[in-house]
Structure 1
Amino acid sequence: MKALFLDMDGLMVDTEKLYQAAQNEIFGKYNILIDESILNKIMGQKPIDSCRILVEETGIPLQPEDLLHKRNQIMEQKLHSELKMMPGLMEFLLEFQGIYRMAVVTGASKKFLDSILASLNIRYFFSSFISSDEIKKGKPEPEIYEKAMESLCVSKEHGIALEDSSNGALSAKRAGLYVIAIPNVYTSGQNFSFVDYMAKDLYEAKEHIKNLIL
């Protein structure tokens, strides 16, 4: 059986701007601007690891756990009022439903994963859900994709991963998967030279996958 592995934040749903808005709200109170290079580092990381990096790199006078708690509080509010699917997601899921087994592979927590899928009513498309709660090492390490393949009983030769960030794409590539990158406004400047295909959006990715033979 063939499988599709989809990242969530920035690939399925437009959450990257919500995360950045939440972080800007917190860091703005300390007159701290977060450099783009720092944002690139935290893409795909486990939530607590991303907060550790933010604390270390910016010097904000908060513990990583406190920063994560504050960010989660703001994000919970934004998810209920501002969450949107990325263009082409529903068409993508409908196209491959019943043809490919599909899994969500996200560096977000299980709580946020469940909340987002419920809000958008798309959980039924997927056979497996791997979040940061199930792994020890976040992206760009391959562990999360290895677990996803194991959960679907799919070999790397029969899997395709879709990612919007370099860290996520590298994680999938290290796991041996065919990787399609769909950069967004926040990740377009990252290095994707190692991926198998670059698509401008999910519409293009859908057409490309239809022509692939796995």
Structure 2
Amino acid sequence: MNPQYSEIRKRRRSLASSFKPVTHVIFDMDGTLLDTEKIHKKTYSKIVKEYGKVITDELRMKMLGRQELDSATMMVNVLQLDITPEEFLEKAHAIEAIEMKNVQFMHGVETLLEHLHTNGIPMAIATSSSEISFRMKTDHLKDKFSVFNHVVTGASDPEVKNGKPAPDIFQICASRFPGSPRNNKCLVFEDSPNGVTAARAAGMQVVMVPDLFLPEELTANATLVLDSMDDFEPELFSLPPYFEIVC
């Protein structure tokens, strides 16, 4: 046996022993599926600059993963902007309406989605975005998004009473799969600390692909941390592997 393959197998067995088998997968959208965070950063920075303010990394970290209105409220209050959160969002949507039409998937996402879909793994989306915002970001990718069983838009779904870091959105998302699998059978993909906290509170394992600006300590609560979706090995969670190593 090739020594390199032997080491790969040993590492996989070691990691897999730490994780529990899953049957369903739930994805966050912004910064996890779609490369939208840099657009949000640019938009929000442009708006607050009109009021002579700057968004710090600390504030950005607190906003990541939260519902749109929650994030807008946080910016307005922390930066003491002379604007309402609703007006802030209206400005943001107007600016992003054009740029979001060209947003693309994060690295490795399309390959993973195709693989899981081909192997019959049920998938869904739990996003803090509103229904309007979700459509704005995904209308040009409808065919790609057809692989998902359902989408929960936290900012506009009446059943989601509390946004991330509360577990509501993930609990509701799991319950809408056919057969309503137990929460611990769902694997979540997230990029934000708030999202990870929410998924763990819902009793789910979480694969985190964090933004590079996040300090390492804010990734500690994740089940597994990756640099890119390209690095994900499905078999670690008893999902069908991409390929079998031939000896």
TM interval, shorter chain, is: over 0.9
Q: Which deviates further from its counterpart, 19-28 or 116-125?
A: 116-125
Equivalent runs, 1:1-214 vs 2, <5 Å: 2-81=23-102, 83-97=103-117, 98-121=119-142, 122-132=144-154, 133-134=156-157, 135-152=160-177, 153-187=180-214, 189=216, 191-205=218-232, 207=233, 209-213=234-238
**What do the CA deviations read for 1:99-142 (whole angstroms, capped 9, x no partner)?**
31000111111112223232123221100101121122110000
Q: Residues of 1 paired with 2:216 and 2:47: CA distance? A: 25
- 8 Å contact kept, 1:16–1:186: no
Q: Residues of 1 paired with 2:217 and 2:93: CA distance? A: 26
Distance apart, 1:185 and its partner CA: 2.6
Identity of aligned residues (%): 23
Task: Say which SS state the counterpart of residue 196 (structure 2) adopts.
Answer: helix
Q: Residues of 2 paired with 1:36 and 1:100: CA distance? A: 36
Distance apart, 1:210 and its partner CA: 2.3
Distance apart, 1:190 and its partner CA: 5.8
Q: Which has the larger radius of gyration?
A: 2
Tell me the equivalent position of 2:10. Answer: none
Root-mean-square deviation over aligned CA pairs: 1.6
Query: Given the two structures, how large is their TM-score scaled by the length of structure 1?
Result: 0.93
Q: Residues of 2 paired with 1:2 and 1:188: CA distance? A: 31
Q: Which amino acid aligns with 2:149?
A: S
Tell me the equivalent position of 2:243. Answer: none
Q: Residues of 2 paired with 1:8 and 1:186: CA distance? A: 18
- 8 Å contact kept, 1:172–1:179: yes
Q: Residues of 2 paired with 1:188 and 1:13: CA distance? A: 21
Cα distance 1:190–1:47, how it changes in 2: closer, same or farther (>3 A)? farther
Structure 2 residue runs of 5 or longer lacking an equivalent are 1-21, 240-247
Distance apart, 1:202 and its partner CA: 0.8
Give the paired residue count.
211
Q: Which deviates further from its counterpart, 9-18 or 127-136?
A: 127-136
Q: Residues of 2 paired with 1:117 and 1:69: CA distance? A: 19
Q: Residues of 1 paired with 2:35 and 2:77: CA distance? A: 27
- 8 Å contact kept, 1:101–1:126: yes
Q: Residues of 2 paired with 1:99 and 1:70: CA distance? A: 41
**What do the CA deviations read for 1:71-108 (whole angstroms, capped 9, x no partner)?**
11111121124x12101111010111143100011111
Structure 1 residue runs of 5 or longer lacking an equivalent are none
Distance apart, 1:162 and its partner CA: 0.5
Task: Say which SS state the counterpart of residue 140 (structure 2) adopts.
Answer: helix
Q: Residues of 2 paired with 1:189 and 1:109: CA distance? A: 29
Query: Given the two structures, how large is their TM-score scaled by the length of structure 2?
Result: 0.81
